[in-house]
Chains A and B, each alone.
Chain A
Amino acid sequence: DAGVIQSPRHEVTEMGQEVTLRCKPISGHDYLFWYRQTMMRGLELLIYFNNNVPIDDSGMPEDRFSAKMPNASFSTLKIQPSEPRDSAVYFCASRSPGLAGTGELFFGEGSRLTVL
C-alpha cells in the first residue's frame, strides 16, 4: 500500500512567487495534517483536516498561507507571496480512523522549500 505522497520533493523559488505543495494521503485515512520543520521550532502544526473539512488552522503563520482539501485523496498548501523565512521542510501526514486513540500519524517524505 502506498504511503503519503508529497510533491514536489524540492522547490527553489524567488521571493514573491507563489508556491503550491501537494499531498495525497493514504487511502481510507480521515485526518490530514500539514506540519513544517525548522531548526528553531522543530515540527510545528500548520493546519489539519478531518473528512476534508479544516478543523484547526491556528498554526498557519499568516494570510499568505492557505490550504485546501477538495477531496479525500488530495490536499494543497499554498504560499502567496513567498518570503525567505518560509524556507523549511513541509510535511503532510495522515491518520487512520482505527488509530485515532493512539494518535499515530503517517508522514510523507516532505517538500523542501527554499525561497531566495
Chain B
Amino acid sequence: DQQVKQNSPSLSVQEGRISILNCDYTNSMFDYFLWYKKYPAEGPTFLISISSIKDKNEDGRFTVFLNKSAKHLSLHIVPSQPGDSAVYFCAAGAGTGRRALTFGSGTRLQVQP
C-alpha cells in the first residue's frame, strides 16, 4: 500500500503557464513534506518543503500548498519554463526526521516552448 500517491504519471504545459502537480497521502503521522526534482541520469534534488504547521510555502516560482484535512499537497510552478521539464517526486516524513522519507511514484512534467 502506497502511503504517498502521485496519481498523474505525466503532465504537459505550455511555457509561461502554470504547472500544478498533485500528491495525496494516507498516513496522518506525516508532518513534513518535500518535493524533489529529477533530471534524466541524475539523482533527485531537493526543491521545496513544507511543515504541517503551515499551509503554504513559497520560493520564487515554486509554491507548495498543504491541505491537511484532505491529506493533499500540490506544487505550483509559475511561470513554467522548459528547464522545469523533469520528474517531480513528492515525499513525506514523520517525527523529528529520524525516519526515512516515503516517496511517491513521480510525475513527469514536460514544458513545451
Residues of A within 8 A of B (CB): 4, 33, 35, 40-45, 48, 50, 56, 91, 93, 95, 99-110
Within 8 A of A (CB), among B74-113: 89, 91, 93, 96-106
Give 28 CB contacts A-B under 8 Å.
Answer: A4-B43, A33-B100, A40-B105, A41-B105, A42-B104, A42-B105, A43-B89, A45-B101, A45-B102, A48-B100, A50-B98, A56-B99, A91-B44, A93-B43, A95-B97, A100-B97, A101-B97, A102-B49, A103-B32, A103-B49, A103-B93, A103-B97, A104-B49, A105-B46, A107-B36, A107-B45, A109-B43, A110-B43
The 7 closest A-B CB pairs, nearest first, are A42-B105, A107-B43, A100-B97, A43-B103, A103-B93, A103-B97, A48-B100
Residues of B within 8 A of A (CB): 2, 6, 32, 34, 36, 41-46, 49, 89, 91, 93, 96-106
Distance in angstroms between the alpha carbons of A4 and B102 in the assembled complex: 20
Distance in angstroms between the alpha carbons of A103 and B48 in the assembled complex: 11
Closest chain B residue to A6 by CB distance? B43
Residues of chain B contacted by A44 (CB below 8 angstroms)? 103
Chain B interface, >50% SS class: loop
Residues of chain A contacted by B91 (CB below 8 angstroms)? 43, 103
Closest chain A residue to B41 by CB distance? A109
* Beta-carbon contact of B97 and A99 below 8 Å: yes
Residues of chain B contacted by A45 (CB below 8 angstroms)? 100-103
* Beta-carbon contact of A91 and B43 below 8 Å: yes
Residues of chain B contacted by A33 (CB below 8 angstroms)? 100-101
Additional pairs, 14, CB under 8 Å, beyond known A45-B100, A102-B49, A107-B43: A42-B104, A42-B105, A43-B105, A44-B103, A45-B103, A91-B44, A100-B97, A102-B34, A102-B97, A104-B34, A105-B46, A107-B36, A107-B44, A110-B42
